[in-house]
Amino acid sequence: MKITSIRTYFVTPRCLLVRVDTDAGITGVGEALPDKGAATAGAIKHLASFLLGKDPRQIELHWQEMYRGGFWRGGPILNAAISGIEQAFWDITGKWLGAPVSALLGGACRTKVKAYRGIGGGTLDELANSAKEAVKAGFGAVKFGPIPTTRWMVSASVARAAGEQMEAVRQAVGDEVDILLDFHGRLGPAGAIQVGLAVAPFRPLFIEEPCLPENVDALAQVARSIPVPIATGERLFTRFGFREVLEKQAAAVLQPDLGACGGIFEGRKIAAMAETYYVSVAPHDPYGPVMTAASLQLDLCTPNFLVQELGGLGEGVLLEPLKIEGGYLIPPDKPGLGVEVDWEKVEKSQAEPFDPPVIYLEDGSVADW
C-alpha cells in the first residue's frame, strides 16, 4: 500500500482535517490543531513531499522520520502537522485490518467513555442553570472558566468571584457531579494559589492550567499549595514535554491534545508514563469530530483515563455523527477511527484558517489568551 495524496481542509468553526489517500482505495482522516492553521497546513504540505509513495502502515517509522528527520524538533506547528497525519495513518491501518484503533493499541478496557460538557453564563443564576441543563442531559461532569482576562496577580474581586461561581454550580448540581475549572494559564503561581484557595471548599475535580506549563517549578508550587488536583498538558508536546511535569509531580491529571502532542500513539505513550506516577489522563479536545473520534479510541484502551472533553460530534461533517448517551461517548462499531467524513459537504463548506486573536488589557498591554 502506498500514499498517493495528503490534503488539508479547514472546517467551521475551528477544525483542520487531514485526508490521506492510498493506492489501495483506503482513505484515512486525522485532525490537527487548528490554531495558526495556515502554518500547520504548510507544515503538512512539507511533510507530504517525502511521505508520498510510502506505506502509511509504518506509523512508528514515519513518526520518527517526521519528528527527527530535520535538525529542529518540537513546537506546536510541527507537532500539530505530525499529529494530524499520524491519526490518518492509524485510521488507514485499522480499516486495512478491519479493527478499531483501540484494538490495535491493546484492546478496550471500558465499554464507553465519560465526557464532560462546558457550561457558562453571564450571571450566577445563568451559570447554575447551564450546569443543571447539562446534568439533566445526562452529564456527570461539567467545566467552566472562572478567570477573566486579567493580570498574573489578581485582585480580591477576581478570587471572590471565582469562589462564588464555584459555590453556585456546586449548589446547583450537588456532590455527585464532577466540576472542572479551567484557568486558561492566565495567572501567575501566586494568583493561582489565591484563587485556588477560594474555590477549594467546593471541591472541584481539578483546576486546569492554573498557570502556564512553561515553568514546571511554578506549576509544582501551585500543586503543593492548594488542596485541589492540578491538570495540564494541552500546550505540551510529545512524551518529552510531559516528562518534567511527572518527575516534579506538578499535576495529578495530564491533558494531551491528540492534534498537537504527536498523535494517537504518542498520546498512549504519555498515558503509560502517567500511569507509573498514578496520574490520570483527560485528553484535551475543544475542536472537531475527528479529534473526538481519535481521543475516544485512546480513552477506550487507557487504564488511567479520567474524563473526556467533548469536542464536535460531527453534524455536517461526518456521514454518521458520534453518539453520546447519558453523558458517555459510545464507541462506533466501524474499523479505524470509526468515522467517515462527508467529503462532498466538506469540499463545499471550507472555511478560512483559524488564528486566535491577540487580547489586550485596559492599559494596552498584551494579555494571555
Q: Is 184 a catalytic residue?
A: yes
Q: Is 62 a catalytic residue?
A: no
Per DSSP (E only), the strands in 76-159 are 113-118, 141-144
Per DSSP (E only), the strands in the chain are 3-11, 15-22, 27-32, 113-118, 141-144, 178-182, 206-208, 230-232, 253-254, 280-281, 308-309, 323-325, 328-330, 359-360, 366-367
Beta bridge partners of 19: 7, 29
Beta bridge partners of 143: 118, 180
- Number of DSSP helices (H) and strands (E) in the chain, helices first: 12, 15
Which of 57, 110, 184, 269 is catalytic? The answer is 184
Which of 15, 284, 305, 336 is catalytic? The answer is 284
Contact 294, 18 (CB under 8 A): no
Using CA atoms, how far residue 198 sits from 131, 143, 244, 265, in Å, is 20, 17, 28, 38
Between helix 156-173 and helix 189-199 the angle, nearest 10°, is 40
The catalytic residue positions are 184, 284
